[in-house]
Each structure stands twice: as structure tokens, then as C-alpha cells.
């Protein structure tokens, strides 16, 4: 006979059935409980005590619980590890419930929908993807800020690159993922995959500015968010279309190689361009700066406009100092607005909002005092929303606690009824004091006092030694070890008035706070617009601050594809090393030079030189000043890199396969307006293979693409290519050799390097002396047998596979005499040995 399931457990099972992919936290009194497999797994992950329900039954149900007041930290931990958590709350007061308490899921928290996550000022983007006739569509939003965007992408690799750039932790699939796509997202990228194949009509977007496919994926994303969050989402902005081709294109490998927003060691901002440039004072400014670095501009007018403002801030030190001071008083208004929309805003949030708004007129005055045309639009968009500031100032007490049910939130004078309740409470307090004094005199009990607690209410506290003096009109309320608690008719009457005033006061305050919060919600759109304006001002003052600190200059742009960087520096390396130690380098690529072939020893600075170029380009195209004495640049449409050796172990790709994949991406997508950086391409395979591929790639870029290219190599034979490729020039990293000791000067000079100094680097690394001597002997022998780069008169010409000298004619005759169709495996092996002997 099957074991009977209790109504409560049946309720749990019914709810769990709808959320099979989530941990279900089931509210029972003061605890959230987990059962069955959820309990077993959660106990291990969260280090909870695993118990069981119905311990004496044949099949006890595993059970684990967490206190309701500490549930958030457990939710955060589960979601941080990539799990979903469904929260089932009690929907009625257990004291008033008839039968079992009604429960329902009130929110599903997922990695992409966390709004209280510990990710600091960073965005937490939830991404949705769909297919459309061979193309892909991608929408993303951040629930904590309301940002909502959508785009169409040509292929799956581009889609993956955009997801990686957004650093998404959860992807909502709007179509049935095939196994290959699922493996890439879930296993290689460690992303939680959710599904939303249908659209709820209530969340259907039909914006004319979007394509049908973009409207569809936006609707699926909205459906998923509303299905999981189950609350008002009025802070979500109208979905905005964007094109990746409208920005400087960089795939995730390029951003990672250049360490733009995350370093390779820890994935943190320290040691990145973002970490260096982040002189912002507001959370909104920090997020905007990061977004700008991820997507540099292509339109010269927009870039110049940003630089005009940076120049103004740089030229006006005192006004910038006032501006910075005002920005420090601005809280994260985007996230405060979302908390209001979510119904999570506390009194302290509204006070922060008011304080932020009070700084806006000061910021506006600073901009207007500069009287610059470039600042007109920013100044105009600084909307201080005075009516909202006035409402919060009039309604919310600055000393309000974080709890919204215990009173002390609303200011005196805001509501007449509340003031009456408070007056009754104040009068009651004086009545209590008068009654205490009167009874002391009448009874002669000097230690008598009136106290209060939730259980006994107001009572006379009388010690054991004074019990003989207790008057007849007192009645006992409670007995303690060394004292008694008494009541009286007069005290009960005062208590009734005070408790009624206190209870009604708290309820009224709570209702008034909800009304104020609801009124604030009407201003969300204006708050979001204001946040964007402040973020822009903050990001641009950050550019001015770092430009002044590090002595950056304003770059200029040209239309003839000329690069002329004088005394350029790698911004991040210089900041770490110090300007005194860093060796600057010129990067000169005139219109008639497309490729620089860079030779020189390891550790000499080739990679830094290449990255320096890319960072100067990116800094210029986000509107920042750059580390150089002079910088004249074209506007680049894309940057492609292959820097540093790396395997893709999860997908089974070797270093060489990764090299070729990244090289192919550049070859397939680069234009004459792109920048290509190839460092040691071809080293992942055999020497001749690598050299052949490197030469073929250089020739292809030279003849077919014409992109500005820096190509660092150890294949010294390739330096001969400047004789056949007119747009290629040789440069090398200079060294100083004295008395057998080599010093790397970290300075780029014209012409090819004469040595690689690899053995010298090995010496620095501490390899044994005998090993180094042997390597030197081998090197001398090899250097007497140079292998020249192949010169091809015609790219279609086939290379001879057997280029034998005449003394190999006997071997060829032997090969021709073999009848391969009529020999055994042993005979074939013997013939192979004979051929080897002949060689």
C-alpha cells in the first residue's frame, strides 16, 4: 500500500512539478525548507544539516532548511554557482488560514536575473537568442538598470563572440538548440541555458523600428523575465536596436588578448585598460565607460565631440574639481529606479535618490559656467526633477530605518492623521510617567517602575522585597524569580490608547510609504534619462583626469590611412612601470606601407609594441586622449589579433588550430581599414609548415586586403619579403651586445634583426651552462645552412614536391622498379630499409 502523502507535502510536489530545473525554497513558518533531491544537493553545496521528514516511515523524505531572515545569502550562493532558485512564499496569514496555508512561487532567481548580486557596479546581462533564416538574433537586458537591446548577427561564431563580450551567465534559447551549439554555450562557456520557445501575448513587442525576428526574440525575453520575476518591470526601457558594424569590431579573442576589461589571470579589471581609465565617481559612469571600451566609435564627428568635452574639462581644472565633488554625491540612480519598480526600495533608497537629485543643479551650474557650445546638450539634459526631490524631502524622515513595518519612516507634518496618532503616543508616554510617579507616592514603593514588553504589555515592575506594599487595585500579570509584574485598570486604559495609536500609526506609515514609492515610480523614465547624462559627464571627466595625470595628448584623424604615432606608449604597462622606466616607440605606417614585419628576441618588447598600437587606436576611438607625443590616425573599422599561445582544451583545439582559426577570422573579415596584429603566427607547427603558412598569409594580406598589419616573427627568412612586397617594411627591436652580454633596448629600429638571441634568453631563465654551450654549437651548425624564403613569380605556380639533386637518381630508379601492387608488407618494409640505406 503506497505511503500517504500529507496535504503540505502534496502542495510542495505540485509546485515543484512546475519548476523541475530549480531549487525550490518552500516557506514553512520561520524557515524555507528543501525536500528530496533538492535537500540532498543543497545540504552539500550550502553546508546545511540534512535531516528527514517522517523519520519513522519506510521512505523518510530528505529535508534541509534555512532561516527566512538569512535566506538571501543562500540564494546568492546558489545563483552565483549557476543554479536557479524558485521561492515559494506563504500567501496568507497562517493564523487566519482555513486548512493548509496557501503557498505559491513569488519569484525565480537565476544567474541572469539577479538584481542584488555582489557584482559591484558591473552589468548583469541576461541574453536571449533565436534563429532567423540562417541568421541569428540576440537580445539582452539588465534587470538592475533596465537596459534592453537587440541585434541581428550573421553566424554562430559572431553570436558566441557577442555573448562572450557581454559576459552573460545565462542564455535564454528561443529555438531548439542543436547539440553542437548547446555544447559550446553550456560546456565551453559555462553558461546556464534556459528555454523560452513561446511568447505570452501580453509581452509581445511590435516596434516598427525592429525587424520581425528582433521583435520576436525581444518578446520571448520579456516573456521569460516576467514568468520568472512575477512583478512590475516598469523600469525596463524600450528595446533599442544596435548593429555591431556601427562600432569598431573586435571579437572576444581580441578583447581578451588586449586585456581591455578583464585581465587574463583572474578575470578582474586590475591591469586592464578599463582599470586604468576608470576615474569615474558614479556607478553609472563606471558601467558606461566599460560599455564604451567594449564598443569604440566609428563616426569621426561623435569621437571629436567627446574629445572636445574632454579638452574643455582638461582646460578648466577648478570647474572640473567642483564637478567631481558633486558627482561623488550621486548614487546609482539606475539601480535605485529598478528597486522602486521591483517594489524593493527602502526609505534609505529614497533618501539616496533625493540626495542625488540635489547634486544635479550644482553639476548643471558648473557646465553652464563654462559657457561652451559642446556642453549645451548635456546641460539641457540635466533634469533635476525638483518635484520628486521635494516629495521625498517632505515625506521621508532622514533617520528612517531600513525596516518599513515598524514606523519611524514618515516625517512629521506630512499626514494629519499620523500626526494625531503620534500625539497620542507622546501624551501616553507622559501619562505613563505621571501614573508611575503617583503610584510610587501612594504605595511608598521607591523601586516601582512601569515597563513594557510585547508579551505582557505595560506593567508595574515590583521586586520581591516590596511585595508586601502592593495595593489592592493592582492585579498580577506575571511572576518572575525575583520580582512580580502587575497591572491596574488605569494603566490598562492608557495602554489601550497607546497600543491602538502605535498599531494604527505603523500601519498608516507603511501605507503612506507605499504611496510615496508608487509616486516615485512615475519618474523612472526621467531618472533613467538623467542617469545616462550623468554617466556621460562622469566618463568624460574621467578621460580628462587620466589625461592630465598621465600626460596624454589629443590625437588627430586623417582619411588617407596614414599612421604617425610619435613616442607612443602602452598605457597600462607605463602606468605599472612608471613613466621614467618605460621606453616609448614611434609607429610610422605611411599610406604606401601596409605591413610592418617585426623581428627581434623574445622578451624584447615586440608584443608590447603591437598591443600599444591597438590600445592607442581603441583609446582614440572611444574619445580618450592617448599616450604619445603626437598621434595621427585613420579611423579603423576592426581590430584582429593573434597574440600569445593558447589551447582551447575544452573543445580539443590545439594552439596551432586556435592560431589558424583566429588568422582565418582576420583574413575572412578584415578590410583595408582594419588593423591586424599577428604575433609569431605559425609557431604551433613544424618549422617549414609554419614558415610557409606565415609567408602565404603575409602575401595574402598584402595583395588581397591591404590592412595595416604588424607581423612579429622569429622566421628571419621572411625578412627577404620586402624585396617582393612593396607595401611591406622590416623593423626590429634593437639590442646592445658588449663582451658577450646582451641588453634589450626595447626600441624599434628600421630593418631586420640580425640575431634572435634565444640562447641569451635561456641564459636569463637560468638553464644549465653545459646545455647552453651545446645549444650554441648546434646553432652555429644550423646557421651555416640557411633556408631562404620562397619567392613566387606567380602565386598559381605549383612547388615541386621532389626537388632532388642528381646523385639521387639511383634512388629514383629503385623506386620506379617497385611494383607496389604485388609486394607483401615484409617486402615493402625491406625496400624501405634499402631506400634509407641509399640515402
Q: Dump pLDDT digits (tens) for 277-289.
A: 999 999 999 999 9
Strands in 238-362 per DSSP E: 240-241
DSSP string, 95-126: TT-SSSPPEEEEEEE-TTT-SS-S-TT----E
Percent of the residues in the chain that have a pLDDT greater than 90, as a whole number? 60
CB 350 within 8 A of CB 396: yes
Q: Looking at per-residue confidence, does 660 or 467 come out higher?
A: 467
Q: Which residues make up each annotated binding site? A: 600-607
Q: What average pLDDT does this structure show over 573-593?
A: 88
Dist. CA 379–CA 672, nearest whole Å: 39
DSSP 453: E
Top-confidence range, 87-96, 226-235, 409-418, 631-640 = 631-640
Q: What pLDDT was estimated at residue 597?
A: 95
Ramachandran quadrant class, 47 (left: phi over 0; alpha: psi -120 to 50; beta: rest): left
Homologous superfamily in CATH for domain 126-246: MutS, connector domain (3.30.420.110)
pLDDT at 688 over 90: no
pLDDT bucket at 838, cuts 50 / 70 / 90: confident
Domain residue limits, the chain: 7-109, 126-246, 296-385+523-550, 416-518, 556-783, 806-838
A 10 A CB-CB count for 343 gives 12
Dist. CA 164–CA 148, nearest whole Å: 17
pLDDT at 566 over 60: yes
pTM: 0.83
Query: Helices 300-315 & 317-327, crossing angle to 10 degrees?
Result: 100
Q: What pLDDT was estimated at residue 788?
A: 52
Q: What average pLDDT does this structure show over 422-432?
A: 84
C-alpha cell at 563: 599612421
Give the list of residues 6+ apart from residue 119 with CB closer than 8 angstroms, or none. none
Out of 292-296, 347-351, 426-430, 642-646, which region has the weakest mean confidence (pLDDT)? 642-646
Protein fold of 296-385+523-550: MutS, DNA mismatch repair protein; Chain A, domain 3 (1.10.1420)
Q: What pLDDT was estimated at residue 316?
A: 97
pLDDT at 594 over 60: yes
Q: What pLDDT was estimated at residue 652?
A: 45
Dist. CA 23–CA 86, nearest whole Å: 6
Dist. CA 482–CA 466, nearest whole Å: 11
Q: What pLDDT was estimated at residue 5?
A: 79
Out of 10-19, 91-100, 613-622, which region has the weakest mean confidence (pLDDT)? 91-100
pLDDT at 380 over 70: yes
Dist. CA 353–CA 517, nearest whole Å: 12
Ramachandran quadrant class, 561 (left: phi over 0; alpha: psi -120 to 50; beta: rest): left
pLDDT at 662 over 90: no
Ramachandran quadrant class, 214 (left: phi over 0; alpha: psi -120 to 50; beta: rest): alpha
Reference 520, options 339, 340, 400, 335; nearest CA is 340
Ramachandran quadrant class, 408 (left: phi over 0; alpha: psi -120 to 50; beta: rest): left
CATH class of the region 416-518: mainly alpha
Q: What pLDDT was estimated at residue 786?
A: 53
CB 589 within 8 A of CB 708: yes
pLDDT bucket at 756, cuts 50 / 70 / 90: low
Q: What average pLDDT does this structure show over 721-745?
A: 81
Instruction: Answer yes or no: same fold for 7-109 and 296-385+523-550.
Output: no
Q: What pLDDT was estimated at residue 798?
A: 46
Phi, psi (deg, nearest 5) at residue 831 = -65, -40
Homologous superfamily in CATH for domain 556-783: P-loop containing nucleotide triphosphate hydrolases (3.40.50.300)
Percent of the residues in the chain that have a pLDDT greater than 70, as a whole number? 90
Q: What average pLDDT does this structure show over 539-543?
A: 98
CB 254 within 8 A of CB 295: no
Phi, psi (deg, nearest 5) at residue 750 = -70, 150
Ramachandran quadrant class, 778 (left: phi over 0; alpha: psi -120 to 50; beta: rest): alpha
Torsion sign over Cα 558, 562, 564, 569 = positive
Q: Looking at per-residue confidence, does 236 or 663 come out higher?
A: 236
pLDDT at 796 over 50: no
C-alpha cell at 826: 615484409
618-661: pLDDT as tens digits:
999 999 999 999 999 999 999 999 886 554 434 445 566 777 87
CB 124 within 8 A of CB 169: yes
Q: Which residues make up each annotated binding site for ATP? A: 600-607
CB 181 within 8 A of CB 156: yes
Q: What pLDDT was estimated at residue 649?
A: 38
pLDDT at 441 over 80: yes
Q: What pLDDT was estimated at residue 415?
A: 93
Q: Are strands 483-487 and 457-463 parallel, antiparallel or unpaired?
A: antiparallel
Q: What pLDDT was estimated at residue 799?
A: 45
Please name the CATH architecture into which domain 7-109 falls.
Answer: 3-Layer(aba) Sandwich (3.40)
Dist. CA 788–CA 803, nearest whole Å: 15
C-alpha cell at 812: 629514383
Amino acid at each position: 500500500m503506497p505511503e500517504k502523502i500529507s496535504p503540505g507535502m502534496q502542495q510542495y510536489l505540485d509546485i515543484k512539478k512546475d519548476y523541475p530545473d530549480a531549487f525550490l525554497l518552500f516557506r514553512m513558518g520561520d524557515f524555507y525548507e528543501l525536500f528530496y533531491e533538492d535537500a540532498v544537493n543543497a545540504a552539500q553545496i550550502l553546508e546545511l544539516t540534512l535531516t528527514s521528514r517522517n523519520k519513522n516511515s519506510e521512505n523518510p523524505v530528505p529535508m534541509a532548511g534555512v532561516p527566512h531572515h538569512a535566506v538571501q545569502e543562500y540564494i546568492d550562493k546558489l545563483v552565483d554557482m549557476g543554479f536557479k532558485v524558485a521561492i515559494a512564499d506563504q500567501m496568507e496569514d497562517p493564523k487566519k488560514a482555513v486548512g493548509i496555508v496557501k503557498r505559491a512561487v513569488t519569484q525565480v532567481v537565476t544567474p541572469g536575473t539577479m538584481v542584488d548580486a555582489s557584482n559591484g557596479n558591473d552589468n548583469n546581462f541576461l541574453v536571449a537568442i533565436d534563429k532567423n533564416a540562417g541568421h541569428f538574433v540576440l537580445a539582452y537586458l539588465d534587470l538592475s538598470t533596465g537596459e534592453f537591446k537587440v541585434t541581428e548577427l550573421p553566424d554562430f561564431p559572431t553570436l558566441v563572440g557577442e555573448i562572450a563580450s557581454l559576459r552573460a551567465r545565462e542564455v535564454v534559447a528561443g529555438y531548439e538548440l542543436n547539440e553542437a551549439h548547446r555544447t559550446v554555450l553550456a560546456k565551453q562557456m559555462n553558461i546556464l541555458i534556459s528555454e523560452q520557445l513561446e511568447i505570452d501575448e501580453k509581452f509581445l513587442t511590435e516596434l516598427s523600428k525592429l525587424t520581425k525576428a528582433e521583435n520576436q526574440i525581444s518578446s520571448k525575453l520579456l516573456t521569460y523575465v516576467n514568468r520568472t520575476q512575477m512583478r512590475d518591470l516598469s523600469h525596463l526601457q524600450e528595446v533599442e536596436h544596435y548593429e555591431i558594424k556601427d562600432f569598431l569590431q573586435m571579437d572576444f579573442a581580441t578583447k581578451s588578448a588586449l586585456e581591455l576589461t578583464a585581465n587574463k589571470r583572474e578575470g578582474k579589471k586590475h591591469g586592464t585598460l578599463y582599470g586604468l581609465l576608470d576615474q569615474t565617481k558614479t556607478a553609472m559612469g563606471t558601467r558606461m565607460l566599460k560599455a564604451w571600451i567594449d564598443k569604440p566609435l566609428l563616426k569621426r564627428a561623435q569621437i571629436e565631440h567627446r574629445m572636445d568635452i574632454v579638452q574643455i574639462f582638461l582646460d578648466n581644472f577648478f570647474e572640473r574639481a567642483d564637478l567631481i565633488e558633486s558627482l561623488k554625491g550621486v548614487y546609482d540612480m539606475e539601480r535605485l529606479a529598478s528597486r522602486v519598480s521591483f517594489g524593493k526600495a527602502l526609505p534609505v533608497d529614497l533618501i539616496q535618490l533625493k540626495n542625488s537629485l540635489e547634486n544635479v543643479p550644482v553639476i548643471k551650474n558648473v557646465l553652464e559656467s563654462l559657457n561652451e557650445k559642446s556642453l549645451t546638450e548635456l546641460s539641457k539634459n540635466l533634469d533635476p526633477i525638483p518635484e520628486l526631490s521635494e516629495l521625498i524631502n517632505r515625506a521621508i524622515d532622514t533617520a528612517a530605518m531600513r525596516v518599513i513595518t515598524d514606523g519611524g519612516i514618515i516625517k512629521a507634518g506630512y499626514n494629519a492623521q499620523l500626526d494625531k496618532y503620534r500625539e497620542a503616543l507622546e501624551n501616553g508616554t507622559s501619562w505613563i510617567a505621571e501614573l508611575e510617579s503617583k503610584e510610587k507616592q501612594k504605595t511608598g514603593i521607591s523601586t516601582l517602575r512601569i515597563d513594557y514588553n510585547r508579551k505582557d504589555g505595560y506593567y508595574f515592575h515590583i521586586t520581591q522585597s516590596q511585595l508586601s506594599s502592593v495595593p489592592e487595585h493592582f492585579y498580577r500579570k506575571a511572576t518572575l524569580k525575583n520580582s512580580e509584574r502587575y497591572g491596574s485598570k488605569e494603566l490598562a486604559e492608557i495602554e489601550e490608547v497607546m497600543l491602538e495609536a502605535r498599531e494604527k500609526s505603523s500601519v498608516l506609515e507603511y501605507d503612506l510609504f507605499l504611496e510615496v514609492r508608487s509616486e516615485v515610480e512615475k519618474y523612472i523614465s526621467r531618472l533613467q534619462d538623467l542617469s545616462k547624462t550623468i554617466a556621460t559627464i562622469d566618463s568624460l571627466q574621467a578621460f580628462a583626469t587620466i589625461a592630465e595625470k598621465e600626460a596624454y595628448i589629443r590625437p588627430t584623424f586623417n582619411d588617407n590611412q596614414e599612421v604617425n604615432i610619435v613616442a607612443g606608449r602602452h598605457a597600462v604597462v607605463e602606468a605599472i612601470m612608471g613613466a621614467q622606466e618605460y621606453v616609448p616607440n614611434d609607429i610610422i605606417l605611411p599610406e604606401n606601407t601596409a605591413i610592418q614585419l617585426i623581428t627581434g628576441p623574445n622578451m624584447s618588447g615586440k608584443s608590447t609594441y603591437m598591443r600599444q598600437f591597438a590600445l592607442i587606436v581603441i583609446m582614440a576611438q572611444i574619445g580618450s586622449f592617448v599616450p604619445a607625443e603626437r598621434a595621427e590616425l585613420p579611423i579603423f573599422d576592426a581590430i584582429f589579433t593573434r597574440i600569445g599561445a593558447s589551447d582551447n582544451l575544452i573543445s580539443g583545439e590545439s594552439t596551432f588550430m586556435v592560431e589558424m582559426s583566429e588568422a582565418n577570422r582576420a583574413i575572412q573579415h578584415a578590410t583595408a581599414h582594419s588593423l591586424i596584429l599577428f604575433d609569431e603566427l605559425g609557431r604551433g607547427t613544424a618549422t617549414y609548415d609554419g614558415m610557409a603558412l606565415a609567408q602565404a598569409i603575409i602575401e595574402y594580406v598584402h595583395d588581397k586586403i591591404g590592412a595595416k598589419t604588424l607581423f612579429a616573427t622569429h622566421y628571419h627568412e621572411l625578412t627577404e619579403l620586402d624585396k617582393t612586397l612593396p607595401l611591406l617594411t622590416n623593423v626590429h627591436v634593437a639590442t646592445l651586445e658588449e663582451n658577450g652580454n646582451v641588453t634589450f633596448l626595447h626600441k624599434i629600429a628600421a630593418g631586420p634583426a640580425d640575431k634572435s638571441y634565444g640562447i641569451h634568453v635561456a641564459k636569463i631563465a637560468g638553464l644549465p651552462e653545459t646545455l647552453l654551450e651545446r645549444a650554441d654549437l648546434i646553432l652555429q651548425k644550423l646557421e651555416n645552412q640557411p633556408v631562404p624564403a620562397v619567392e613566387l613569380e606567380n602565386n598559381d605556380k605549383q612547388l615541386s614536391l621532389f626537388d632532388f639533386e642528381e646523385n639521387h637518381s639511383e634512388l629514383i630508379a629503385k623506386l620506379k622498379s617497385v611494383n607496389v601492387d604485388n609486394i607483401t608488407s615484409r617486402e615493402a618494409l625491406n625496400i624501405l630499409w634499402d631506400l634509407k640505406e641509399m640515402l
